[in-house]
Amino acid sequence: MDLISRRVVFKALVFLCFIRSSQGRDHFTKLNLPPFLKASRFPTFQHEAYDYIIVGGGTAGCPLASTLSQKFKVLLLERGGSPYGNRNITLLENFHICLADVSPESPAQGFISTDGVINARAKVLGGGTCINAGFYSRAKPSFVQQAGWDADLVNQSYPWVEERIVHWPKVAPWQAALRDGLLEAGVSPYNGYTYDHLYGTKVGGTIFDETGYRHTAADLLAAANPNNLRVLLYASVNKIVFNTKQGHRKPRAIGVQFKDENGRHHQAFLREERGSEIIVSAGAIGSPQLLLLSGIGPRNELKKHNISVTIRNEHVGKGMSDNPMNSIFVPMKSPTKQSLIETVGITDAGVFIEASSGFSQTDDSIHCHHGIMSAEVWSLFAFSFTC
Ligand SMILES: Cc1cc2nc3c(=O)[nH]c(=O)nc-3n(C[C@H](O)[C@H](O)[C@H](O)COP(=O)(O)OP(=O)(O)OC[C@H]3O[C@@H](n4cnc5c(N)ncnc54)[C@H](O)[C@@H]3O)c2cc1C
């Protein structure tokens, strides 16, 4: 290649890199999000009170904050930072890098459960939608019924989410192979492209767009009323504050206590109105953890940790699960096109069979380029997005 052609190629590469790296920024500007404040900037002297205080700005917390802010004054407290500008979150190709990041700033907090399961939980505005495989499905109707929700309202709410952050995937080769394999194995009928939870094989929605850019629950804050919503980042809530005045038969939650990024403590309070609420949407681990720290849980557990009992509830912290699954790794000689979950098989035994491809493990470990997972049918996305 002569010097001129090399320069042309080099300039083209620089241009392409610029387009790719500015994608996240453009997206952020286009969204017109409400301002995000660091928790240290929360004015402690200001006696601002809220109709709703939402703990956890994740998959459930962000859309709740957006919808409630249409009519009410809302404070959203998230222990992590902003997802915008973090390419480990926004780009599909960095899915595995994001999960493997163990730095203190990582949006994924790795952990191993007491029974030895390796997993991660989110620590970032947008929550699990910033670190997960991005598959989107509507809930099983029987799940909605069992939860006691208004099915019509749930059905009306889905498009609110879908129009904003859900896309149809261009089915990747490994996903097409899984689709054909599932049908051959009898996971039928083929239901085509659908968000609905139907038995058989289908292609579902994804929060990655056609360029591989991840759209998260944080994007849903763009639909909020900015005059009614305050979003604090790096705000770790460590206690729900209860009204302990004499004469109150039942303890009433009146506010929360949280730590900012510098370790300083703050408090925020609800308006003294009937119907004001603290909503705990801190995830499968964070929510029971906060309840326990606030004295809500099994008496013996609380006693063991010298926490005085506010409300006795034997179920808090029990039977928790989030994204439980079994995986099979399929080592390949050559890398394949990367894909996250697009095709699923839903069996009447109550499992999802799904797959990802092209995310190898570390260089010195076995190269696992394809994977198949089977997960319990799990409807948290619908649960999370009910608005
Ligand atoms: C690797 C992986 C892949 C997955 N893939 C999929 C998928 O493809 N499709 C799907 O539907 N589901 C998937 N899931 C599951 C899905 O992401 C979760 O079920 C969902 O995000 C849970 O939503 P949530 O709102 O309950 O919690 P989260 O989205 O986790 O939100 C909780 C938020 O609360 C914050 N928080 C916690 N404690 C506190 C505190 N004390 N103070 C302040 N903030 C706090 C956290 O930082 C977090 O942002 C996956 C999960 C994992 C881990």
Q: Measuring from atom 13 of ligand 1, which residue has the nearest CA? A: 132
Give domain status of residue 370, yes or no: yes
Give domain status of residue 279, yes or no: no
From the number of C-beta atoms within 10 Å of its C-beta (0-12, 13-18, 19+), residue 286 rates as buried
The residues, ordered by sequence, that sit 6+ positions from 276 with a Cβ below 8 Å of its Cβ are: 50, 51, 52, 270
C-alpha distances (whole Å) from 110 to each of 107, 117, 185 are: 10, 11, 35
Give domain status of residue 355, yes or no: yes
The percent of residues above 70 in pLDDT, for the chain, comes to: 84
Q: Is 287 in the pocket of ligand 1 (CB under 6 A)?
A: no
Place of tokens 């222990």: 79
3-class DSSP state for residue 331?
Answer: strand
**Index of the ligand 1 atom closest to the CA of residue 341:** 8
Token reading at 62: 């962000």
For β-strands 74-77 and 229-233, DSSP reports them as: parallel
Q: Is 122 in the pocket of ligand 1 (CB under 6 A)?
A: yes
Q: Measuring from atom 31 of ligand 1, which residue has the nearest CA? A: 58
Once rounded to an integer, what is the mean pLDDT over residues 196-222?
A: 97
Give domain status of residue 252, yes or no: no
CA-wise closest residue to 219 among 129, 158, 283: 129
Q: Measuring from atom 45 of ligand 1, which residue has the nearest CA? A: 56
Q: Is 343 in the pocket of ligand 1 (CB under 6 A)?
A: no
230 beta partners: 75
**Index of the ligand 1 atom closest to the CA of residue 109:** 47
Alpha-carbon distance 287 to 56, whole Å? 9
For β-strands 49-50 and 265-270, DSSP reports them as: parallel
Q: Measuring from atom 3 of ligand 1, which residue has the nearest CA? A: 132
C-alpha distances (whole Å) from 58 to each of 50, 341, 343, 365 are: 19, 20, 25, 32
Q: Is 322 in the pocket of ligand 1 (CB under 6 A)?
A: yes
Q: Is 138 in the pocket of ligand 1 (CB under 6 A)?
A: no
Torsion over CA of 361, 381, 57 and 159, rounded to 10 degrees?
120
Give domain status of residue 350, yes or no: yes
**What is the span of the domain harbouring residue 384?**
168-213+324-387
Once rounded to an integer, what is the mean pLDDT over residues 316-336?
A: 81
Q: At what angle do helices 61-68 and 151-165 cross, to 10 degrees?
A: 100
For β-strands 49-50 and 311-312, DSSP reports them as: unpaired
Q: Is 288 in the pocket of ligand 1 (CB under 6 A)?
A: no
Least confident range from 1-10, 62-71, 227-236: namely 1-10
Q: Is 214 in the pocket of ligand 1 (CB under 6 A)?
A: no
Asked if the model's pLDDT at residue 160 lies above 90, the reply is: yes
Report the domain count for the chain.
1
Token reading at 181: 């394999």
- pLDDT tens-digit readout, 250-292: 899 999 999 999 999 999 999 998 899 999 999 999 999 999 9
Give domain status of residue 198, yes or no: yes
Asked if the model's pLDDT at residue 376 lies above 70, the reply is: no
Give domain status of residue 1, yes or no: no
Asked if the model's pLDDT at residue 338 lies above 50, the reply is: yes
pLDDT of residue 3: 59
Give domain status of residue 136, yes or no: no
Whether cis (ω within 30° of 0) applies to the bond prior to 189 is yes
Q: Domain of 369: which CATH number?
A: 3.30.410.40
Which ranges of the chain does DSSP label H, i.e. alpha helix?
3-31, 61-68, 87-90, 95-100, 141-147, 151-165, 173-184, 283-293, 299-304, 380-385
- Tell me the CA–centroid distance for residue 380 and ligand 1, in Å: 9
